[in-house]
């Protein structure tokens, strides 16, 4: 599959988080057409990243539930160049101040984090904050979601994509 370079001025970024070892078919379908994929941690198993690499290049960070030799190879945060802007990726947004200390005066166009399982797209002080929610096992009554970020020059447009999951048939009484 051919992808536009994530270094080009236009870039489609698929964003996923909190799979906890479950990569749903619906998530794979929603991420098709991405120039790159960001996994914001709590991956759960290296096979999740391997499957995502079949769609596009993957940038991933380690979440608080990622353990083992494979997870130790993942950074706690990384700065991803995409579409001419920089994206700061970490698992828990509350640790952003620690990342900022290492980044000096770097201005990120967006901060991407998971952890809370709550999908959100908002802009604060000119920086877009994206949490794609959780694409893994359902937690409480939260939706199953991923996100899409479209970058055109310095313009960012992000949206949450709720994944339709098959509903179990009611049991006969």
> Predicted confidence band at 2 (pLDDT cuts at 50, 70, 90)?
very low
**Selection from 149, 146, 148 nearest residue 165 by Cα:** 146
**In 50-79, which positions are buried (b, 16+ CB within 10 angstroms) versus exposed (e)?**
eebeebbebbbbbbeebeeeebeebebbee
DSSP 8-state class, residue 54: T
Average pLDDT over residues 64-84: 95
Better-predicted residue by pLDDT, 136 or 2: 136
d(CA 9, CA 151): 7
Is the pLDDT at 25 greater than 90? The verdict is yes
Sheet arrangement for strand 155-162: 58-60, 36-39, 10-16, 145-152, 155-162
Average pLDDT over residues 57-83: 96
Mean pLDDT of the chain: 89
Q: Using alpha carbons, list the distances in angstroms from residue 157 to 121, 130, 167.
A: 10, 11, 31
Backbone torsions φ then ψ of 169, nearest 5 degrees: -70, 140
Say whether 28 sits in a helix, a strand or coil.
helix
Using one digit for the tens of pLDDT, what is the confidence trace for 102-156?
Answer: 655 468 999 999 999 999 999 998 999 999 999 999 888 889 999 999 999 889 9
Domains by residue range for the chain, with CATH: 10-162 (3.60.21.10)
List the end-to-end C-alpha distance of the chain, in Å, as a whole number.
48
**Selection from 61, 92, 87, 55 nearest residue 156 by Cα:** 87
d(CA 85, CA 107): 9
pTM, two decimal places = 0.89
């Amino acid at each position: 599959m051919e992808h536009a370079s994530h270094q080009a001025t236009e870039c489609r970024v698929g964003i996923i988080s909190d799979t906890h070892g479950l990569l749903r078919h619906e998530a794979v379908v929603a991420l098709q057409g991405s120039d790159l994929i960001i996994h914001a941690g709590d991956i759960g198993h290296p096979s999740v990243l391997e499957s995502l690499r079949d769609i596009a290049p993957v940038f991933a960070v380690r979440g608080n539930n990622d353990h083992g030799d494979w997870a130790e190879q993942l950074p706690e945060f990384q700065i991803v160049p995409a579409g001419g802007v920089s994206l700061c990726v970490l698992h828990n947004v509350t640790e952003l101040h620690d990342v900022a200390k290492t980044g000096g005066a770097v201005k990120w166009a967006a901060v991407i984090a998971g952890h809370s399982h709550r999908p959100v797209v908002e802009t604060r002080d000119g920086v877009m904050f994206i949490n794609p929610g959780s694409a893994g096992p359902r937690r409480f009554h939260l939706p199953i979601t991923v996100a899409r970020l479209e970058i055109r020059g310095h313009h960012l447009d992000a949206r949450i994509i709720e994944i339709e999951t098959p509903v179990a048939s009611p049991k006969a009484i």
